Amino acid sequence: MNLDNKVIVVSGSSSGIGKSTAELLLENYANVIGLDSTESSINNERYQHYCIDIRNEQNILTIVDEIENTFEKIDGLANCAGIYSSSKPFFEISFEEWDKVISTNLTGTFLLSKYIARKMIKNKNGKIVNISCIRSRIFRSEMADYSASKGGVVALTSAMALDLKDYNIQVNSVAPGFTYTGMTKESFDNPQEKEFSESIIPVGKIANPKDIANVVLFLFSDLSNYINGETIFVDGGFKISK
């Protein structure tokens, strides 16, 4: 897929799904602006990186304006930044722990989308791809904060798509299943945990970040122009097996 001359912002670009997404977009000739709280190891002349806390509205506004001034447009946004749950029953989660997960995974997605959508509206063109999770639909204990944040992303995706329908801007989300990233490394490096997880996935294996990034790439391509407001589960069939 040739994304030559496209300008795409990727949050969470220093690791995991965000990094794989940024690298895959670069392989397909896009100009990529990465946002993360840490530095990136990506080295490409078409890659530009900003260290940013996506919960900080003023920082987002400043950087989005700078991106527009540099490139004169923004064609796409991949909201990949996220953190894991507090791993406690909901009745033991402190407000600070709850707020950190919700503000990063959901409010950060809202803020970035808000200001970048305003730039897209000027050109009446754009695509936004949010990263949700199977835990927005299939639940497990001690993940109330994470599930709430990712369920919110699913709802926000559809609501954004309707608000942007008159501006030729499509908004979709990708809901990964079991995926090997920095957040899940400790669990999946355990042979027993890995074996059990693969046994309950119909395709029989845990995803790697590029498996998810491939679908994000598709949603940024012209092949997806008639898909809007949807959440695509990329989970090896886990959802349909439950």
CATH code for the domain in which residue 171 is found = 3.40.50.720
- The residue ranges of the chain whose pLDDT is under 50 are none
- The SS3 call for residue 80 is coil
Please indicate whether residue 29 is annotated as part of the active site.
no
Nearest to 79 by CA among 5, 4, 2, 174: 174
Half-sphere exposure (Cβ direction) of 148: Cα atoms closer than 13 Å: 18
By residue range, what is the domain housing residue 200?
7-241
Of the candidates 47, 50, 146, 180, the residue annotated as catalytic is 146
In a domain, 229, yes or no: yes
For residue 182, the model assigns a pLDDT of 82
For residue 219, the model assigns a pLDDT of 98
For residue 214, the model assigns a pLDDT of 98
For residue 1, the model assigns a pLDDT of 79
In a domain, 178, yes or no: yes
For residue 186, the model assigns a pLDDT of 81
CB 96 within 8 A of CB 139: no
In a domain, 1, yes or no: no
- The SS3 call for residue 236 is coil
Nearest to 29 by CA among 75, 97, 80, 94: 75
Nearest to 137 by CA among 127, 129, 128, 146: 146
In a domain, 2, yes or no: no
In a domain, 81, yes or no: yes
For residue 185, the model assigns a pLDDT of 80
For residue 2, the model assigns a pLDDT of 85
Overall number of domains in the chain = 1
